Amino acid sequence: MEQSILTEKEKLNLLKEYLQQFKNIPRAESNLIIILHKLQDIYGYLDIKALEEVGNVLRIPTSHIWGVATFYHHFKLRKPGKHIISVCLGTACYIKGANEIFLTLKDELKIGKHGVSEDGFFSLEEARCLGACSLAPVIMIDGKIYGNLTTKNVLQIIKEIRKKEEKKQ
């Protein structure tokens, strides 16, 4: 789902509509993980106001929901950047310099893993394997794989994306 085309009000209404199916179910909290996945599909991350709405509908404390959300690595607790960069740190990529690629991106974007660049354009995360070992080292940006990377050409990719974003503004 493309989160950026929905207003915050539309996202909340979509979530409320989805939650109606759980409203009168005994022990509805047993569906919490699937609900959190849907919430993340709608917002792109687990928005605190949306978590509170889930708690209200399921009649469970937000602290319990937060505990579940923080336990699982899949859930994003902060709004991601417009472009999500996943750096493969699997064996093949790591051996061919993926850690240097990650450090270069971290320095260029001035963020750590799971951080967001100041301009809001980029998020940076680690991946264990992106399934493109023959192209190692690789990154994925918005679902597109970039392979045979060097610290120099990864900076060029970021520069091109930034340039396109700045033209849009």
Predicted confidence (pLDDT) per residue in 84-114, tens digit:
999 999 999 999 999 999 999 999 999 976 7
pLDDT per residue as tens digits for the range 21-67:
998 888 878 999 999 999 999 998 999 999 999 999 999 999 999 99
CA angle 64, 47, 142 (to 5 degrees): 125
How long is the chain?
169
- Sign of torsion, CA 96 99 102 103? negative
Torsion of Cα atoms, 126 then 131 then 134 then 138, to 10°:
-30
Could you tell me the pLDDT band of residue 124, with boundaries at 50, 70 and 90? very high
DSSP 79: P
Chain centre to alpha carbon of residue 74? 8
Query: pTM value?
Result: 0.74
Furthest-apart CA atoms within the chain: distance in Å: 56
Considering only CA atoms, give the Rg of the chain. Answer: 18
DSSP 122: E
Could you tell me the pLDDT band of residue 154, with boundaries at 50, 70 and 90? very high
pLDDT (0 to 100) of residue 100: 97
79, 44 in Cβ contact below 8 A?
A: yes
Task: Write out the H or E segment, with its range, that includes residue 86.
Answer: strand 83-88
pLDDT (0 to 100) of residue 2: 47
pLDDT (0 to 100) of residue 4: 59
pLDDT (0 to 100) of residue 110: 94
Q: Is 139 exposed, middle or buried (0-12, 13-18, 19+ CB in 10 A)?
A: buried
DSSP 61: -
Strand partners, 86: 125, 140
